[in-house]
Structure 1
Amino acid sequence: MSDTPSHGPVKSIMPKWVRGPQDFVGGVALIAIALFALWASSDLQGMRGFSFGAGTAPRMFAYLLLGLGVAVMVVGLLTEGTHLAKYHWRGPLFVSLAILSFALMIRPMGLIVTAFSSFLIAALGTPETKWTETIIVAVCLTAFCSLLFPYALGLPLQMLPKFMIR
């Protein structure tokens, strides 16, 4: 008997002509994002001939992303690559929840409470979180944001929750 683990054939849902499944799927995802960006920026003016406007930069970057996506997809078709890796949902889920909570809490709760709680929600995205360090960083970032946005940038942001302000 051998002490090394056996590496049997890997089952794949991809067709045989896809030699690098991870690159191929990544390229398709980049193409999908680029097509969405092109669609979303289609009603913005600019980038028609020599006319520059609000749609110039989004469409320019979308075309670059589209080209990059096609290149990555072609690499997945032509070269041997890794199989699809297991998807870890925890990080994207908690970062998305942190963004959503920030959007919903900023007006009623103010910048200080919202920034601190959003940072803590995002920290739940990894099991490696050390809470003492996370709270220290959250306090420092909240203090920095509390000085940056209303004072350095002059944005009219409410700092404290509405129930604490007369």
Structure 2
Amino acid sequence: MRGTMRIASTKDFLAGILFAGLGAAFAAVAATSYAQGTPARMGAGFFPLVLGVLLAGVGLAVMVRSLVVPGDGLPRVQLRPLLSLLAAMVLFGLMLRPLGLLISAAALVLVGGLSSPEFRFKEAVLLAAGLSVGAVLLFVTILGLPLPVWPSY
């Protein structure tokens, strides 16, 4: 057919749209609320504006490339991993203050582990225990962040 454009790689085309849209939105909205300045005397908004324009340019380049270079189609969306990981992060955020870092981190690992078809409960419990202790050591002991370790009643 004459006058129609054929996309060789749908995945790249959609990624290009995402990059171009985010870059343009960032350059238009976020960067313009600060003074721009000049390249010799940059203002606070100069660097974010340049990054937004560059990201939009990369997006356009990816879109043009997707018209020429063939690629794979879009993969099937897997809902179990998506929902499991989302639930794990929301649960962690809701549990952190009242139940402390140890329990919240363990819940994050256990619920997040459900996203894998190779989930084994015993291994997940051991991993959750190790990562919870590691999180407390790193964030509370070493970095000194004021996070509750134990449940607050």
- Residue 82 of structure 2 corresponds to which residue in structure 1? 92
For each residue in 1:23-78, what CA deviation from the matched residue of structure 2 results, as whole angstroms up to 9, or x when unmatched? 2122223334445555674477476541247x95x666544443332222222112
Q: Which runs of 5+ in 1 are unaligned?
A: 1-14
Number of aligned residue pairs: give it.
147
Q: For 1:146, which of 114, 136, 139 is the aligned residue?
A: 136
Cα distance in 2 for partners of 1:68, 1:134 equals 40
Cα distance in 1 for partners of 2:52, 2:123 equals 38
The answer on whether the counterparts of 2:97 and 2:148 sit within 8 Å (CA) in structure 1 is: yes
Q: For 2:97, which of 81, 84, 107 is the aligned residue?
A: 107
Counterparts of 1:1-166 in structure 2 under 5 Å? 17-35=6-24, 37-38=26-27, 41-42=30-31, 45=34, 48-49=37-38, 50-52=42-44, 56=47, 62-163=52-153
Cα distance in 2 for partners of 1:46, 1:142 equals 44
TM-score (norm 2): 0.77
Paired residue secondary structure (1:162): coil
Which structure: greater helix fraction? Answer: 2
Cα distance in 2 for partners of 1:62, 1:138 equals 39
The answer on whether the counterparts of 2:27 and 2:50 sit within 8 Å (CA) in structure 1 is: no
Percent sequence identity is 29
For each residue in 1:102-124, what CA deviation from the matched residue of structure 2 results, as whole angstroms up to 9, or x when unmatched? 21111111111111101111111
Quote how far apart the aligned CAs of 1:142 are: 0.6
**CA 1:21/1:127 → structure 2, altered by over 3 Å: closer, same or farther?**
same
Q: Which letter does structure 2 place at the counterpart of 1:132?
A: K
Quote how far apart the aligned CAs of 1:131 are: 2.5
Cα distance in 1 for partners of 2:58, 2:44 equals 23
Q: Which runs of 5+ in 2 are unaligned?
A: none
**RMSD over equivalenced CA pairs, Å:** 2.8
